[in-house]
Amino acid sequence: MAEDITSTLKEERRFPPPAEFSGRARVRSMEEYEALYRRAEEDPEGFWAERAQELLTWDQPWEQVLDWQPPRARWFVGGRLNASVNCLDRHVATWRRNKAAIIWEGEPGEVRTLTYLQLWREVCRFANVLRKAGCEAGDRVVLYMPMVPELAVAMLACARLGVTHSIVFGGFSASAIRDRVNDAGAKVVVTADGGWRRGGIVPLKDSVDAALEGDACPSVEGVIVLRRTGQKVAMEPGRDIWWHELMETVDATCPPVSVDSEHPLFILYTSGTTGKPKGVVHSTGGYLLGTAWTSRMVFDLREEDTYWCTADIGWITGHSYIVYGPLANGATTVMYEGAPNWPEPDRFWDIIERHRVNIFYTAPTAIRAFIRWGDRWPLKHDLSSLRLLGTVGEPINPEAWIWYHRVIGKARCPIVDTWWQTETGAIMISPLPGATPLVPGSATRPLPGVIADVVDGDGQPVDGDQGGYLVIRKPWPSMIRGVWGDPERFEKTYFSQVPGTYFAGDGVRQDAEGNFWIMGRIDDVINVSGHRLGTMEIESALVSHPAVAEAAVVGRPDDLKGQAIVAFVSLTGDSDPSPALGETLRAHVAAEIGALARPEEVRFTDALPKTRSGKIMRRLLQDIAANRDTRGDTTTLEDATVLDRLRKKWDER
């Protein structure tokens, strides 16, 4: 991946912000950006305290802005607030009560608009439902739902009670649900009878049933089921209850529970170097501030905007930039349930035209798919409402950037390429659209308050254009607060490479102008269509199949997905390689983790390349998977003949 992105360093095109945009933007010039950056660098606590005062409503003021005992940060110590109050009640108290909070479109085509007042009522009622189900502050609730307004309702209802939500992306399988429910110790699971995807039904409830089968998840006391598709599902007496039946039994008001600023708002599982996904914990005060402030600055969000982020709420992008950030700002956020190419490849452009979307935030992998589907789809639609475009999830190749700029933005709309992570909670490196000259392929400069740097393998700062590892030197409000139930892993993963400094796990270069060029993960994480998957997770899924003795998984550059999964597999004595077995193993991984983890290719081998100490040499496998010459040193290889054998696919031998 790194090699392929390096070519972007030759990118010399610059796109200064259009004068019309800058003229009314929140930050109008690089001078203003620099001044803000310096202010935040010189007095971070003063800077963030001002933002927290300006953007959030507190029930009780903080006594101390920051308590930083690396790797533990506490922001707005002693302060108390409620996230649902910040996203709802304070808007309901103004004229915004009748403003659209969520404009939702289901895949089959129905449209629902919830005003702030309507959303607030639903949230209060569902909070009462959760309370009736025995949930109280500090409990965990898992949400495994389609992209429907009720998902946002359930999140905000949890927040109203101080219940920590943990959303499991609807594409994950039963065993992934089971692991997350158990790790979080969830008391209740909220799901639906299904969700629509490309005209078919995703059987969410069936997966929950499989996950909870027998006594697999002893912490779960109840399952609340939303009727979305009308699909018949099994309801287990004493455990499963319909959402709509419960909603009829409760009040439409629910007093919010004021929580400590550091109270865990949610846990979101993400892949890392070891086999088990880690539960990234986010706080209430700091997280909400980070998402509210970046929504406003990066998207130049204003009162009259209709804003659309196409992510699934099951990922951090949806948490921060469909729900918390936009709603904290009192904005109108669009939510769409289904696929971009259903019923036709112009669904997104149709949505933009019909709802007059002004700000559109999507992923490079989607843009590459649009390019492939052809210009005629966007050209069929009036996209003149758009004023700002954004991307997130992986580096964007300059060709895709230029297409996005020309065909979607008609060379009028700035593009914000936003670098951040599940762990950072909010955008960290990004242009400010009224100020920053855009550079296709670079997320440009860190936001004010973000002290980003490039270090070498010893943690020493790297000069100029050399490339190294991305670190963030100072704590920031929306930073990860911990790995649920595993403080050691938290410290080891993020704060041990350079003690006391956040290690992002990305390779990066900084050019002479100060622009950051993200080159992709340096750990055992593969980025498939902007989704993060651990190689170890997929390997454990593979070896759980009786035919597999050993497996090694790597990413291969892919024009559409960014990276594609390639699995090298050696078999147990009584199994023989065959295309059918390859298919079986691909399906096995999909069943174990979810379709997004299904390997693109399974290659059988009699042995994996290992060092003399037994470590699999993934770098070599990456070269083989990408069909390129092996880079660097192979002298530590235990058996050099393995390489030649690996290069040939089993059926070519």
**Binds ligand WT7 (CB under 6 A): choice among 316, 447, 538, 621:** 316
Binding residue count for ligand WT7, defined by CB under 6 A? 22
Helix 579-592 vs helix 535-543: crossing angle, to nearest 10 = 120
**Binds ligand WT7 (CB under 6 A): choice among 468, 505, 577, 594:** 505
Q: Say whether residue 417 binds ligand WT7 (CB under 6 A).
A: yes
**Pairwise CA distance, residues 291 & 566, whole Å:** 35
Nearer of residues 470 and 642 to ligand WT7, judged by Cβ: 470
CB of residue 454 to ligand WT7, shortest distance in Å:
14
Q: Say whether residue 338 binds ligand WT7 (CB under 6 A).
A: no
Q: Say whether residue 551 binds ligand WT7 (CB under 6 A).
A: no
Nearest 5°: phi and psi at 592?
A: -75, -40
**Binds ligand WT7 (CB under 6 A): choice among 103, 158, 225, 518:** 518
- 620 to each of 408, 610, 624, 636, how far by Cα in Å? 40, 10, 6, 11
**Binds ligand WT7 (CB under 6 A): choice among 263, 532, 586, 618:** 532
Q: Say whether residue 524 binds ligand WT7 (CB under 6 A).
A: no
Stretch near ligand WT7 under the rule CB under 6 A, chosen from 351-359, 367-375, 515-523, 603-611 = 515-523
**Binds ligand WT7 (CB under 6 A): choice among 317, 365, 478, 501:** 317
Omega into 71 within 30° of 0, i.e. cis?
Answer: yes
Omega into 108 within 30° of 0, i.e. cis?
Answer: no
**Binds ligand WT7 (CB under 6 A): choice among 86, 306, 421, 493:** 421
Q: Say whether residue 312 binds ligand WT7 (CB under 6 A).
A: no
- Chain CA centroid to CA 391, Å: 12
- Strand positions, DSSP E, 55-160: 64-69, 72-77, 80-81, 100-105, 111-115, 140-144
Nearer of residues 191 and 421 to ligand WT7, judged by Cβ: 421
| 163-203-425 Cα angle (round to 5) | 40
Which long-range contacts link 20-24 to residues 24+ away (Cβ below 8 Å)?
21/300, 21/387, 21/388, 21/413, 21/414, 21/433, 21/434, 22/434, 22/435, 24/434
CB of residue 271 to ligand WT7, shortest distance in Å:
8
Q: Say whether residue 527 binds ligand WT7 (CB under 6 A).
A: yes
Stretch near ligand WT7 under the rule CB under 6 A, chosen from 250-258, 403-411, 519-527, 603-611 = 519-527
CB of residue 521 to ligand WT7, shortest distance in Å:
5
- Residues 6+ positions from 653 with CB-CB distance below 8 Å: 645
**Binds ligand WT7 (CB under 6 A): choice among 173, 261, 332, 422:** 422
Nearer of residues 82 and 527 to ligand WT7, judged by Cβ: 527
**Binds ligand WT7 (CB under 6 A): choice among 86, 118, 173, 270:** 270
CB of residue 426 to ligand WT7, shortest distance in Å:
9
**Pairwise CA distance, residues 64 & 137, whole Å:** 24
The string of DSSP letters for 44-58 reads HHHHHHHHHHHH---
CB of residue 272 to ligand WT7, shortest distance in Å:
10
| H runs (alpha helix) in 429-517 | 487-495
User: Is residue 335 within a helix (H) or strand (E), and if so which, with residue range?
Assistant: strand 332-336
**Binds ligand WT7 (CB under 6 A): choice among 183, 305, 453, 506:** 506
Stretch near ligand WT7 under the rule CB under 6 A, chosen from 29-37, 144-152, 183-191, 518-526 = 518-526
Smallest CA-to-CA distance from 290 within 468, 478, 418 is with 478
Binding mask 454-493 for ligand WT7 (x = CB under 6 A): ----------------------------------------
- Residues 6+ positions from 441 with CB-CB distance below 8 Å: 5, 8, 11, 395, 396, 397, 398, 401, 417, 517
CB of residue 264 to ligand WT7, shortest distance in Å:
18
Name residue, tokens 């269509």. 529
DSSP-derived secondary structure letter, 522 = S
CB of residue 508 to ligand WT7, shortest distance in Å:
9
CB of residue 507 to ligand WT7, shortest distance in Å:
9
**Binds ligand WT7 (CB under 6 A): choice among 521, 545, 588, 598:** 521
β-bridge partners, 69:
72
**Pairwise CA distance, residues 566 & 602, whole Å:** 6
Copy the structure tokens of residue 628.
């390129």
Binding mask 383-402 for ligand WT7 (x = CB under 6 A): ---------xxxx-------
Tell how many helices (H) and how many strands (E) occur in the chain: 23, 30
Nearer of residues 261 and 444 to ligand WT7, judged by Cβ: 444
**Binds ligand WT7 (CB under 6 A): choice among 440, 520, 594, 599:** 520
Q: Say whether residue 282 binds ligand WT7 (CB under 6 A).
A: no
**3 state SS for 220-289:** CCEEEEECCCCCCCCCCCCCEEEHHHHHCCCCCCCCCCCEECCCCCEEEEECCCCCCCEEEEECCHHHHH
Smallest CA-to-CA distance from 448 within 25, 46, 37 is with 37
Q: Say whether residue 443 binds ligand WT7 (CB under 6 A).
A: yes
Smallest CA-to-CA distance from 136 within 303, 27, 254 is with 254
CB of residue 516 to ligand WT7, shortest distance in Å:
9
CB of residue 348 to ligand WT7, shortest distance in Å:
18
Nearer of residues 421 and 478 to ligand WT7, judged by Cβ: 421
Q: Say whether residue 418 binds ligand WT7 (CB under 6 A).
A: yes
Nearer of residues 133 and 428 to ligand WT7, judged by Cβ: 428
Stretch near ligand WT7 under the rule CB under 6 A, chosen from 88-96, 159-167, 294-302, 502-510 = 502-510
CB of residue 449 to ligand WT7, shortest distance in Å:
17
Nearer of residues 295 and 605 to ligand WT7, judged by Cβ: 295
- Residues lying near ligand WT7 in the complex (CB under 6 A) are found at 270, 316-317, 392-395, 417-422, 443, 504-506, 518, 520-521, 527, 532
